[in-house]
């Protein structure tokens, strides 16, 4: 069965170990992104309508 990843991402020695499994670094990319969304909502959110910010964050 063929791999779904191209040769540089399969871990055949052509790529760094971090690229062998893209799912391994996904949480590290998601944490700063979520933090930016939360900070934007806290800074620009409307205190009279907090459900708008809750909907954006969730």
Q: What is the reported pLDDT for 32?
A: 94
Task: Tell me, yes or no, whether 34 lies in a domain.
Answer: yes
Residues written for the chain: 58
Q: How many domains does the chain have?
A: 1
pLDDT tens-digit map of 2-52: 556 555 555 555 555 555 677 888 888 899 999 999 999 888 888 888 888
Task: Tell me, yes or no, whether 40 lies in a domain.
Answer: yes
Cβ-Cβ contacts under 8 Å for 52 (sequence gap 6 or more): 45, 46
Q: What is the reported pLDDT for 56?
A: 75
Task: Tell me, yes or no, whether 38 lies in a domain.
Answer: yes
Q: What is the reported pLDDT for 50?
A: 82
Task: Tell me, yes or no, whether 4 lies in a domain.
Answer: no
């Amino acid at each position: 069965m063929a791999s779904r990843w191209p040769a540089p991402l399969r871990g055949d020695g052509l790529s760094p170990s971090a690229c062998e499994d893209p799912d391994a670094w996904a949480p590290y990319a998601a944490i700063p992104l979520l933090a930016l969304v939360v900070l934007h909502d806290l800074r620009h959110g409307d205190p009279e309508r907090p459900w708008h910010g809750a909907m954006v964050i969730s």
